[in-house]
Amino acid sequence: MEYKVALIPGDGIGPEIIDGAVKVLEKIGGIYGHDFRFTSYLAGGCAIDATGKPLPEETLEGCLASDSVMLGAVGGPKWDTLPGDIRPEKALLGLRKELGLYTNLRPAKIQPALADACVLRKDIAERGFDILIVRELTGGIYFGERGRRDKNGVEEAYDTEKYDVNEIERVARVAFESARKRRGKVTSIDKANVLETSRLWRETVHRIGEEYPDVELADMLVDNAAMQLVRDPSAFDVVVTSNMFGDILSDEASQVTGSIGLLASASLGATTRGMYEPIHGSAPDIAGTDKANPIATILSAAMMLRYSFDLGEEADCIERAVEKVLLDGWRTSDICEADRAGEAIGCREMTEKILEALGR
C-alpha cells in the first residue's frame, strides 16, 4: 500500500525528531511492504519567517491532500512577541480546526524500564498506570471569542469558554468507545461547581453514557483530578475533558510517566486523516544540539499506523522496539538517572537503537 504523509517539522527540535520518526516509518515500510510518501511543509515560526504567515495555504492544502499528517513542534522565543493571530501556535490551532480534528488522544503509560524515572513515590510508581486522556481539541476557550476592550478607561481582556452539545457528544463517544477496548472506565473531568459549560458537559456526557451501560462513568472536578493524578494515577483508565483542562492535565500526566519526551498524541476527526505529534513543545534551549528525545514522535508515528492506516501489527512492532531499547538501558538525557548522566545518548543515536531493535 502507498500512504501519503504530510510532514510539518516546524521549529526548534521539530526537524530532529521528525527525522527520527521518518527513519522508523521507512524501516517499517521496508519490513512490511508499505510505501510511505513524505512531503514536507512549513508551519509555525519557520513559516512566519519564510512567508509572513504561520499557516501558509500551501501547507493546509498539502495536509488536506494527504492520508495523514506528522508534526514536530512549533514556536520559540524569536516569535514570542508577535500579536496573537500571527504567532506560531496559531498554525497548530488552525490545522486542528481546518482538518476537523476534534479529539486528541494522549496516552500516559509508565514504561516498565522507567519506573525509576517516575517522580512519584516508589510504591505508587510500582503499582503502574495506563491512562488515556481524551482531550476535546477544536472547541472551548481556545476557540471562543476573545479580545480587549475599554471598560471606563481601564483596559480589559477576555476569552470565552463555549461548548455546544454536539461538540461534547462526539468527544464523549470517542471516550466511551475507547474505554470499551480498555478497562471499561471513563472519568469525565470538569469544573461543574463553577462553570456553566462544565454543567452542560457533565449532563451531556451522562446522557451519552447511558448508551454505554457496560462502561463505568465517574465525574471529577479538575482541581481534584490534578491532585488524584499524582496521588494514585492507577485509578484512571480513560479521562475525557475539555480543550484547556486536557492541555494542562496531559502535561501533568506526562511528567508522572517520567518525561514529557515520551508522550505521543493522535488528533482525530470524522475521517481517517489524523495529525500525529509529540505532546511536548519545540524546546528551543536544546534545538540543534542532538539532545532531544525522539521517542514521543516515534510513538506518535506508531499511533498514525494504528489509527489512520489500521496497521496495528506494525504499530505494536514500533512500540515493542521502543520498550526494548529502554529495557536495554539506553537513555536520552531527559530520562537518564543523575548518576549516569555521562552515558546519555543523543537523538540520532536513540533513533539508531530503535531502528536496530525493529530489525530483530
Q: Which of 16, 167, 190, 247 binds ligand IPM (CB under 6 A)?
A: 247
Decide which of Mn ion, ligand IPM, none touches 89; Cβ closer than 5 to 8 Å per partner kind: ligand IPM
B/e letters for 230-242, b = 16+ CB within 10 Å, e = fewer, are: eeebeebbbbbbb
Decide which of ligand IPM, Mn ion, none touches 12; Cβ closer than 5 to 8 Å per partner kind: none
Q: Which amino acid is at 162?
A: K
Q: Measured from the CB atom, is 161 or 247 closer to Mn ion?
A: 247
Q: Which of 3, 142, 163, 212 is catalytic?
A: 142
Shortest distance (Å) from residue 79 CB to ligand IPM: 12
Interatomic CA distance for residues 344 and 329, integer angstroms:
10
Q: Which of 11, 16, 237, 247 binds Mn ion (CB under 5 A)?
A: 247
Decide which of Mn ion, ligand IPM, none touches 19; Cβ closer than 5 to 8 Å per partner kind: none
Q: CB–CB of 292/13 below 8 Å?
A: yes
Q: Is 223 noted as a catalytic residue in this protein? A: yes
Q: Measured from the CB atom, is 246 or 294 closer to Mn ion?
A: 246
Q: CB–CB of 55/42 below 8 Å?
A: no
Closest CA to 205 of 183, 187, 223: 187
* Site for Mn ion contains 167 (CB under 5 A): no
Q: Is 191 noted as a catalytic residue in this protein? A: yes
Interatomic CA distance for residues 36 and 13, integer angstroms:
23
Q: Looking only at residues 254 through 283 of this chain, which bind ligand IPM when binding is defined by CB under 6 A? A: 279
Q: Is 3 noted as a catalytic residue in this protein? A: no
Q: Is 4 noted as a catalytic residue in this protein? A: no
Q: Which residue is nearest to Mn ion (CB)?
A: 247
Q: Which amino acid is at 74?
A: V
Shortest distance (Å) from residue 288 CB to ligand IPM: 20
B/e letters for 42-65, b = 16+ CB within 10 Å, e = fewer, are: bbbbbbbeeeebbbbeebbebbee
Q: Measured from the CB atom, is 36 or 245 closer to ligand IPM?
A: 245
Sites of contact with ligand IPM (CB under 6 A): 75, 89, 92, 247, 279
Active site residues per annotation: 142, 191, 223, 247, 251
